[in-house]
Structure 1
């Protein structure tokens, strides 16, 4: 089968669209013939974590397709079923943190940038019928990350004021749609005028330039909840927007991970600072139910043939996207 494989060289130089031996399912596993797959920032990080001396690895965490075969003991799905992939491995029930052994599809196990992928049967769910293949293929990792950060960790409630810095990412666009669906007031930031305009079209109540003075641009309004994924470039500005007793949830550091804060201001502000990563199978199923109830669709930025994976990576590295980048496969 054709696949995007990382092998022999560090970073992007080690990626190649090539032939790879198709893997057969073991007990409790299924083979999904993929229609589409989604690109995430995690795929960039994997290129540095997977070493040139490691065995060849098919990367990619998101995807959707059709069950091609099932291993012994699988009774939950059948050949021909249309499914969407939950990329979290080994985290079943919602808990304070992932259990030992939690992994994500695409490292250390083979991922979705291929014509087929082998997964535990428990990691596929019926594809929501209202989603296209393009939308289903880019949904899971970003939507699950957004769901846990906003609901499980952030305890979002109707009427809250929510700030989402860096609206261009896939997770951020889900955060915006999810937060509006539950009746919050949502503010976003971006350096891009085009992304600010698109965010307003998606329902944001206000979109401001990330380079502006946020206090001034927001008219002095303070937030109940900030969901932060940018990192060092915006972290202290995000903290400064919290009301006394407000909560900041962070799950990313695309713009740097070394942050200094004024601890005195932090404890006098009675702030809550929470980390979040991906989510459990329980939360994944809740997320799928939530998006179907509210008919929420991913914002799809660009789709490329898998053979043109380099174009998708270039767009992601340049932060040119608004929403999700994906690949056509089958």
Structure 2
């Protein structure tokens, strides 16, 4: 069976599809991953074959038996070229379900895959295949924590770019103040940049994780039962996601549009201290982690995908 994966705009979304791509390869199937140039290294490090160029042309020439993708990737596919190929689509970030078909197309996935923990999905798709929110992690033995570990509570702070302008405006300022605030609380702080993180080595032992609302960080913290503080830019979907984190009790949310620098700095330190030293977030995050551990893993979807492709050929 030939399977073409089509990545969307989100690097985290791609990383959440890679465990399924690797499971298919290990089961003897041929897999190609269409992605943007900046994601080629991540795909290659996962032992998969990245493909650039026009995804429609790739599909026409390679003639896959199955297409797996994300809403932001599938929307660019030509409906006519893919009309005879079953499509499997991963649901996106926490707070919403995508509108389908995308404007100007008649694409409708045959199957939705939902990697979001059920208690965090505000509006699911009936019949979606639920799967554990695991993501591919880079291998390596880089020192994640200082050699001499501190007895202080650990906080992981993750951002997208080491440059102050890498986030844009107030969200960048809020991120850098979170580093200052955690350090002022006398915590053991680790700062990491980028979406491609070895979460299973970073998160165990952490009292909290601070991130900028990226789905990969949200899912990883939920999987490992770590309370989280989301620094949101204020886009509607991020606001809904932040509200959902607070409603579920697993974290807190602070918005970049906070007008008063001093007030937002105090609130930021308060939220970090609350997550580290008490509150309801830790037991809620632990319960969520246990429920996630009961969900199916990516490899369990392989027989179902084989059956879907086989039915289409028949």
Both structures adopt the same fold (TM-score exceeding 0.5): no
* TM-score (ref. length: structure 1): 0.34
Structure 1 or 2: more helix by fraction: 2
* TM-score (ref. length: structure 2): 0.35
